[in-house]
Structure 1
Amino acid sequence: MSNGGQPAPQPGRLPIRMLHDRLLVSTEGEAGERRSGGGIVIPATASVGRRLVWGLVMATGQHVRQAQVGDRVLFDPEERAEVELSGRDYILLRERDLHAIAQDETDEGGTGLYL
């Protein structure tokens, strides 16, 4: 996903209005190396099986019930369509294609995310 040297747009401030149960998601800044639970660095180019991807909800249609603009969501990258707006690439999803929405904090005080 190219950024063209421009600052990333703010969620909800795009020249588009989503319809029905559709979500506009950005994965910019989500790709890259990650760490395993044991602290081992796993490069972004590592070959793994079918892996879900995190993205940021930028806009939602009027029938979306669970996700909100600004939520970090988990989805299958194989079940998506892409669109370019203002020189940036975004992903179009249906709400039913989401697997999870990240929580701010758990009862233990952490986010609970280990990816």
Structure 2
Amino acid sequence: MTLNPATAETGLPIRLLHDRVLVKQEAAEGERRSSAGLVIPATASVGTRLSWATAVGVGPHVRAIQVGDRVLFDPDERSEVELHGEAYVLLRERDVHAVAASRVEPDATGLYL
């Protein structure tokens, strides 16, 4: 029996199919601080606020995301799953708005988000 490389790295008992991406959110949604230090309550919202997460598993048809990449997604369009007592979010690759990868080529123009 061969293990999915993502399963072997993360130790999660799951094999992702098609274009699915399993991510772990970096911080709980809640109060946050402005750059001036003002506390912004979780109930205050101006438009849609996107969330950052780290990809912990990718399906075989995912082309632009690798395990370990930070991805930007809409938290309203997500499916949550619990594995080994940890909460994860399951997304389709098309639901990811941007990837903030540290692997930028030396002569590249840069990463524009």
The residue type equivalent to 1:102 in the other structure is A
* Count of residue pairs brought into register by the alignment: 100
**Native 8 Å contact 2:55 2:67 kept in 1:** yes
| TM, length-normalised to structure 1 | 0.71
Structure 1 range deviating more: 27-36 or 80-89: 27-36
C-alpha RMSD of matched pairs (Å) = 3.1
Structure 2: gaps spanning 5 or more residues: 1-7
Identity of matched residues, %: 49
- Return 5+ residue gaps in structure 1 as ranges: 1-9
Instruction: Find the structure with the greater CA-based Rg.
Output: 2
AA matched with 1:47: A
Contact 2:29 2:42 in 1 (8 A): no
Equivalence map 1:1-115=2 (5 Å) = 12-29=10-27, 31=29, 33-36=32-35, 39-43=36-40, 45=42, 47-48=44-45, 49-104=47-102
The two structures have a TM-score, normalised by structure 2, of: 0.72
Contact 1:55 1:72 (8 Å CA) reproduced: yes
